[in-house]
Structure 1
């Protein structure tokens, strides 16, 4: 198997249109693909997607945000939602999406002014493997953690001889 890279990250949101509006306003997302309701029986849904009987995909939208991995957003019906909070980053299965921006500080200011739930920061890392990285966490309206990162030049681990990470800035 030859792996080319990460094509998309998919996750389910409680309100698809709200999520799309958020990613459009906050990050300039563009919708590339929309499926509408997926008509499939319970057996298909259980065997191919691992979801309980009665669940259906109401719509899928794939978003492109800048230069990098696509986001595939799902809205399902048939699953009780809202009783279980999203997992925190400290819990197994918890995750976040990180977007590289030109300036975390100005991005944080803009997002705060737009009413986005931005956590404390940005934080600049001045030593160690991540030296030169500025990062900031925020939450989407449905509670999903997101991160902004910016960097000027090679990080500490790279200057010490480590392999370069892929970057949407350079495309390599």
Structure 2
């Protein structure tokens, strides 16, 4: 099997219009497609997607954000626990999305000015395998953790002889 790279990351949001507006307005995303209602039966949903037979996909929107993996945003209905809390990064199944920006400090200031909940930071790492990385966590309006990162060149691990990480800024 030849793997070319990450094509998309998919996740479900409670308000699809809000999520699209967030990513297009603040991250410069472009909407590539919208499916509308996926009209299939409950067994299809259970067997192919691993969700309850009552769940239905109301719409899928795919966004392109810069030079990297696409975001596939789902709006579902029919789930018994639509308001279950998101998992924290410290829990199995928890995750975050990281966006590489040219200047993490300036980006964090811009996001804060736009009313986005930005956690403490940005933080610059001045030693070890991640030396040269500036990072900062933030939350999307629905509570999903996101991260912005910037780097002025190879990180410490690569400078010490390790393999290079992929970067949308250099591809």
Common topology (TM > 0.5):
yes
Q: Matches of 1:127 and 1:2 in 2, distance apart?
A: 35
Structure 2 partner of 1:9: 9
Query: 1:121 aligns to what?
Result: 121
Supply the distance in 1 between the matched residues of 2:17 and 2:86 (Cα, whole angstroms).
19
Return the alpha-carbon distance in structure 2 between the equivalents of residues 76 and 14 of structure 1: 8
Cα deviation, residue 26, structure 1: 1.3
CA-to-aligned-CA distance 1:115-143 (integer Å, 9 cap, x gap): 00000000000000000000000000000
Give the Cα–Cα distance (whole angstroms) in 1 for the partners of residues 156 and 49 of structure 2. Answer: 41
Please name the residue that 1:109 is paired with: 109
Rounded Cα–Cα distance in structure 2 between residues aligned with 1:168 and 1:3: 17
Q: What does residue 43 of structure 2 align with?
A: 43
Q: How does 1:113-152 map to 2 (within 5 A)?
A: 113-152=113-152
SS at match of 2:17: helix
Q: Which runs of 4+ in 1 moved over 4 A?
A: none
Task: After TM superposition, give the deviation of residue 154 of structure 1 in Å.
Answer: 1.1
Q: Which residue of 1 aligns with 2:26?
A: 26
Question: Matches of 1:75 and 1:51 in 2, distance apart?
Answer: 13
Gaps of 5+ in 2: none
**Offset of 1:152 from its aligned partner?**
0.4
Corresponding residue for residue 164 of structure 1: 164
Match of 2:75 in 1: 75
Structure 1: unaligned runs, 5 residues or longer? none
Q: For residue 108 of structure 2, give the secondary structure of its aligned residue in structure 1.
A: helix
